[in-house]
Amino acid sequence: MNLVTAEAPRMKTIREYIEARTLPLEDLKGALQLAMRLEFSTIPPYLCAQWSVKRDPDRAEGVVHEIVSQEMSHFALAGNLLTAIGGRPSIGRADFVPAYPLYELPGGIPQELPVDLKPLRKAQLAVFMQIETPEFPPIGFLEEQAPATIGAFYDTIIASFQTLNPEIDPAAHAVELPSRHRIGTVADAIETINRIKSEGEGTQDSPDQPSGEERGSFAHYYLFKELWLQKRLVKVGGRWSFSGAHIDLPDVYDFRPSPAEPNPSAEFNRTFSQLLCDLETCWTSGAPPNVAAMFQLQILGRDLIKRGFRPEFRWDDGTS
């Protein structure tokens, strides 16, 4: 396993970044590294929920799969933004991996409901809605006493790109994503951040009224809320309403934490850790993503859950 052994610099909190209003270049790089941690922290809980689905009458697994795919894309885009301004993502290390349950998201965003690795049930959907709650009414990051929110954090990153106008390297190593062009200008960077905001945790719409004209434009919060309310979001009198067809939630596999000895999640953890190391090389040397390892992780995770064990998503450097 190719490990990054250099000590990572102290990670500032989201509030510290927001209060700075605009960031010098090195802090902008730190903010994008934090954005990678923030986006990544949602992926294991969403994957465990997706993998727990057994019988699925109304395709709930497909909804969660779509959201997971977008979160993976946001994670990769944050890394691409970082390399575009001369930074180097650092993800192949133990301190990048969240320790669940999370009582605050990376960067210090408190969570009333702990974020944990659980099956796809209504209680877990409530946790997912909490993570993805829109900022409404919209909160500007220049306001006094503004709460430390994910949307305000991304607004600070946007403002920093606008103020610094940093040199962009269009040839920087990046993860190639379908339908996403390379970041070649500051305008591309800002468009990318706005895309991350609108699809995920930074949207500024009302929790009851998305701004999108089409279903395909809904942010994650509304997709989770449909499942939680078990009602489709439909247009009624020109406005969106959670009053459409009933949604049956899926039957799911129950699972419990993996025991320490013998640890059924050991191979999963080794594959997961190596995958992070492999992903880091996409940004450091231009290596392609290890797609085979991603599929292997999914196979191992689903198998664990079917056997009643939780995939732990813990760092394993291969020495144990």
pLDDT digits (tens, 9 = 90+) for 164-215: 999 999 999 999 988 777 899 999 999 999 999 888 766 666 777 787 666 5
Architecture of the structural domain at 14-253: Up-down Bundle (1.20)
- Mean pLDDT, residues 56-64: 96
Cβ-contact 247, 262 below 8 angstroms: no
What is the Cα–Cα distance from 132 to 249, expressed in whole angstroms?
Answer: 20
What is the Cα–Cα distance from 104 to 110, expressed in whole angstroms?
Answer: 4
Q: Is the pLDDT of residue 275 over 70?
A: yes
Q: Please work out, in degrees rounded to the nearest 5, the angle formed at the alpha carbon of residue 201 by the alpha carbons of 195 and 204.
A: 75
Under the banding of pLDDT at 50, 70 and 90, the label for residue 100 is very high
Cβ-contact 311, 257 below 8 angstroms: no
- Mean pLDDT, residues 99-121: 96
Give domain limits for the chain.
14-253
pLDDT of residue 106: 95
Under the banding of pLDDT at 50, 70 and 90, the label for residue 299 is very high
Cβ-contact 304, 258 below 8 angstroms: yes
Q: Which residue has the tokens 């699972």?
A: 255
- Report percent pLDDT > 90 for the chain: 75
Backbone angles phi, psi at 102, to 5 degrees: -100, 125
Encoded tokens for 139: 């909160």
